[in-house]
Amino acid sequence: FFWLSLNVWFFWKTFLLYYRGQQYYYLHQMLGLGLCISRASASVLNLNCCLALLPMCRVLLAFLRGSQKVVSRKTRRLLDKSKTFHVTCGVTICIFSVLHVAAHLVNALNFSENYSEEFLALNVANYRGEDTNITLHSSNVNHSVFVSVPGLTGVIMVLVLFLMCTASTYAIRFSNYDIFWYTHNLFFVFYMLLMIHVSGGVLKYQSNLEEHPPGCFNPNKTLRENMTVPKAFAEMFPDYTPEPFLEDLSVPQPFVQNNFMRVCSEEPKFQSHFPETWFWISGPLCLYCVERLYRYLRSNKPVTITSVISHPSNVLEVRMMKVNFKARPGQYVILHCPRVSALESHPFTLTMCPTDTKATFGVHLKVVGDWTERFRDLLLLHSSQDKEILPIFQQRRYPKLYVDGPFGSPFEESLKYEVSLCVAGGIGVTPFASVLNTLLDNWKCYKLRRLYFIWVCRDIESFRWFADLLCMLHDKLWQENRPDYINIQLYLSQTDGIQKIIGEKYQALNSRLLIGRPRWKLLFDEIAKCNRRKTIGVFCCGPNKISKILHKLSNISNAYGTRFEYNKESFS
């Protein structure tokens, strides 16, 4: 709401400034509403181009999320909406760019139609009717649109923005992520063009308002040009009346205010604005560049890959070590393998975090695209060759892998509630794996006292990704007389009959394996009944369909005074 109000306020404030502002009187007379709309939309574009960069400062967001100064859980939850906010700013930029371009096309026409012989400094066109004389079959090019610096950079920016927007759609991201990644990095070109775009100085304001009030009467000019002046001025300036005045000529309104006449002492002077856009985007752009430099320096040394494990259903587990690497449960890292792609990087949630007793951390990745396929082939190729030749402690022939991060995510909050409900869909279990690993190491030091873990998969083999982890945590809690600490429910959504997770050691999970989909309303009612008047954190990583259901149920009040706070990471 605050962001929306800010956009409306900036648009209306700028619109009124150019509509009523005395310094823009002559320019408004020439361009009309096109001036007001173009400048008002530009102010909204400045605001959103500034804000769109902030959610991409991932190190800053991770610092704020983990900072003790941000004590409010509600404030930290706002940080979880950074991606949504970035997309919203991007859509707003697209919409107001269309409005801005349309208004300036009208301005280009008005510059030509309303060419001023009196105020030559305001003109952009070279003569009256310049743009309208250009036909569709003419080889001439519109000067104000394609030759001027603002016009040329504006056209290129529209093309860049079009590429970025179309490549950001779900269809392209899902079918070919590379196109999205490469086109989205054109944002730097966009911002550089934006800095140049505003330096053209096409629109000018009047700088000598005291010496030349807008619309004032200039007696020297009237005499010099042998113009007929109204009778109202004849009595005050009898020396400047070389010819009779028309009796029926009324006094123009701009010349008379409060029963007195404004008289010019000099001609109007016009000058270009200092580009305000630089103030808006230079700070966030510098902040982003500094962060990127910091991230580059932090991740310029490759990690040591200790093991690679191939799991069922095309899932690969990579375990690594890195000096001074620290992370919190629920965070994610960005992997970059130069042999797979020189420029491309991808985020993956940590499924194992380093602790005081072990320095190993790991990720699980599902092989679903070109990048993950090439990465899997490289790792498994080297892994099989090394195992045939070298003992395990000497296996160091994996391709170079660089890790950037860690970065924050909503799942860091799961250990800060007294009761948490964690819902995973398929590979969406990865954020909760790091939480479960942390609890296995030491659960007593956290605020969490009860965890409801719901995992929905399509095939039985997917549960084997973390079956060992779940069984070890289950056994440990039973040994420590806390079997009620974690409630595990596994749902197999697609099956031809009753199946079990193969292996005697998985008996604890077989008894918790259910066929079908969860009955979410009954599940929420049961949890609310068992945790009366408590605040429960709801965390979801999975398809949007499940996410929307949980979000809706979290907002419904219940008879037990239990409050559900919804958090999510969505993929689709």
Q: Is 182 domain-assigned? A: yes
Can you tell me the distance from the alpha carbon of 276 to that of 170, in angstroms, rounded to the nearest whole number? 34
- Which one of 283, 311, 334 terminates a domain? 283
Q: Is 339 domain-assigned? A: yes
Query: Would you say residue 252 has pLDDT above 80?
Result: no
Q: Is the pTM of this model over 0.85?
A: no
Q: Is 231 domain-assigned? A: no
For residue 268 the two structure tokens come to 């109007």
Q: What is the pLDDT of residues 356-394, one digit of tens each?
A: 788 889 999 988 878 888 998 888 875 554 444 334 444
| Amino acid 344: pLDDT | 82
Q: Residues 342, 448: one domain?
A: no
For residue 482 the two structure tokens come to 């806390």
Cα–Cα nearest to 347, from 396, 305, 409, 433: 409
Q: Residues 402, 445: one domain?
A: no
Q: Is 354 domain-assigned? A: yes
Q: Quote the crossing angle between the two packed helices 82-113 and 33-51, to the nearest 10°.
A: 160
Q: Which CATH number goes with the domain that contains 334?
A: 2.40.30.10
* Strand segments (E) across 147-234: 204-206
Q: Residues 402, 420: one domain?
A: no
- pLDDT band of residue 256 (cuts 50, 70, 90) is very low
Q: Residues 447, 540: one domain?
A: yes
- Which one of 235, 253, 283 terminates a domain? 283
Q: Residues 353, 420: one domain?
A: no
Q: Residues 279, 305: one domain?
A: no
Q: What is the pLDDT of residues 227-251, one digit of tens each?
A: 444 554 455 545 544 444 344 434 4
Question: What does pLDDT average to over the chain?
Answer: 79
| Amino acid 5: pLDDT | 92
Helix%, strand%, coil% for the chain, nearest 5: 50, 15, 35
Phi-psi region of 314 (alpha: psi -120 to 50; beta: other; left: phi over 0): left
Q: Residues 10, 118: one domain?
A: yes
Tokens 């009898």 identify what position? Answer: 238
Q: Residues 38, 148: one domain?
A: yes
Q: Residues 34, 81: one domain?
A: yes
Q: Is 166 domain-assigned? A: yes
Burial per residue of 244-265, b for 16 or more beta-carbon CB atoms within 10 angstroms, e otherwise = eeeeeeeeeeebbeeeeeeebe
Number of domains comprising the chain: 3
CA distances from residue 487 to 443, 452, 474, 523, 527 in whole angstroms, order as listed? 15, 5, 9, 12, 11
- pLDDT band of residue 500 (cuts 50, 70, 90) is low
Domain that holds residue 364: 301-380+398-407
> Which is more confidently placed, 315 or 211?
315
**Gyration radius from the chain CA atoms:** 33
CA distances from residue 455 to 51, 330, 504 in whole angstroms, order as listed? 36, 16, 21
Q: Residues 310, 367: one domain?
A: yes
Q: What is the pLDDT of residues 197-206, one digit of tens each?
A: 877 667 777 7
| Amino acid 255: pLDDT | 42
Q: Is 372 domain-assigned? A: yes
- Which one of 251, 283, 315 terminates a domain? 283
Q: Is 251 domain-assigned? A: no
Q: Residues 539, 418: one domain?
A: yes
Cα–Cα nearest to 347, from 361, 365, 320: 365
Residues 262-283, mean pLDDT to the nearest whole number: 78
Q: Which CATH number goes with the domain that contains 469?
A: 3.40.50.80
Q: Residues 334, 418: one domain?
A: no
Q: What is the pLDDT of residues 388-439, one digit of tens each?
A: 433 444 445 788 899 998 888 888 888 888 999 999 888 888 888 888 888 8
Q: Is 178 domain-assigned? A: yes
Residue 144 is given by DSSP the state: I
